[in-house]
Amino acid sequence: MSEIQNKAGIPLLGDEFPKMTVQTTRGVKNLPEDYKGKWFVLFSHPADFTPVCTTEFVAFQQRYEAFRALNTELIGMSVDQIFSHIKWEEWIKDNLNIEIQFPIIADTGKVAETLGLIHPGKGTNTVRAVFIVDANSKIRIMLYYPQELGRNMDEILRVVKAMQTSDANKVAMPANWPNNEMFKDRVIIPPATDVDAANDRKKRAAAGEFECLDWWLCHKALN
């Protein structure tokens, strides 16, 4: 069961996540309404009972509490029927001693079509996509992987933390944060956008408010 209201075309960064009612292994969910006030990571996988997908679900589950500590929920999805999801969960628990605790959407194809998740040339299989949605239901990050490549869940966890840190402090995040090669765990001050702001930036740097390599490249430690 899937009911979706959405404008034409797949959603873009900054768009509100499309409204949809979906059947999951944890009951019917209304997205994004049921997750208002929380971030959520919706990730699709090609199919149940496949090797790479199994490793991914184990990896997500092992980090589930770390995501929840960031006020973030996980939602899996594929174009498989609900009984297939349930049986696959049982197999993972019986054989790997891992209990999948987050919901998995049983999609009829409508969700995958709306979000652009059908892999070209691979029948009805969904790509390995990741949608990171903030507490205001806005899509902040979209990642797409081919079927052959399993995702790095530590990177997904990192970008959720990085975006939340950016939002809370009005800063930008350097490459590989919090282990940047130049600035370690320090953050970037957004560059000045006019002459007055550039001059003010120099004065504030001179006063020790932050450090600059130049007026357009300034960084600071988080308080």
* Segment 185-200, tens digit of pLDDT: 999 998 888 999 888 8
- Show Cβ contacts of residue 21 under 8 Å, excluding neighbours closer than 6 positions: 1, 2, 3, 4, 28, 29, 30, 31
Residue 6 has pLDDT above 50, yes or no: no
- Cβ 24 vs Cβ 105: under 8 Å: yes
Query: What are 81's two structure tokens?
Result: 């029927």
Compare 55 and 109 and report the one with higher pLDDT.
55
Percent of the chain with pLDDT over 90: 71
Closest CA to 131 of 32, 29, 8, 61: 32
The CA-based angle 148-109-54, given to 5 degrees, is 35
pLDDT (tens digit per residue) in 212-221: 998 899 999 9
Q: At residue 97, does pLDDT exceed 90?
A: yes
Instruction: Report the candidate in 101, 51, 50 with the shortest Cα–Cα distance to residue 76.
Output: 101
Closest CA to 55 of 95, 22, 25, 86: 95
Q: From CA 49, how far away is CA 17, in angstroms rounded?
A: 28
Instruction: Give Rg (Cα) of the chain.
Output: 20
Q: How confident is the model at residue 122 (pLDDT cuts 50, 70, 90)?
A: low
Please give the CATH superfamily to which domain 2-151 belongs: Glutaredoxin (3.40.30.10)
The reported pLDDT for the residue numbered 112 is: 85
List Cα–Cα distances, 165 to 110, 118, 184, 204, in angstroms: 34, 32, 15, 22
Confidence of residue 124 (pLDDT cuts 50, 70, 90): low
| pLDDT of amino acid 24 | 97
Read off the pLDDT band of 88 (50, 70, 90): very high
Q: What is the pLDDT of residues 125-137, one digit of tens each?
A: 677 899 999 999 9
Angle at 222 between CA 217 and CA 223, to 5 degrees: 135
Mean pLDDT over 79-91 rounds to 95
Structure tokens at 90: 């049982």
| Burial (0-12, 13-18, 19+ Cβ within 10 Å), 169 | middle
Q: Is 53 a catalytic residue?
A: yes
Give me the pLDDT at residue 8, please: 45
SS3 136: coil
Q: Which of 41, 42, 53, 159 is catalytic?
A: 53
Distance CA 34, CA 152 (A): 27
Can you say how many angstroms the Cα of residue 217 is from the centroid of all Cα atoms in its chain?
28
Check if the beta carbon of residue 160 is closer than 8 Å to that of residue 43.
Answer: no
pLDDT in tens, 138-174: 999 999 998 889 999 999 999 999 999 999 999 999 9
pLDDT for the residue 191: 84
Fold classified for 170-223: Antioxidant, Horf6; Chain A, domain 2 (3.30.1020)
H or E segment to which residue 220 belongs: strand 217-220
Domain ranges, ordered by start, for the chain: 2-151, 170-223
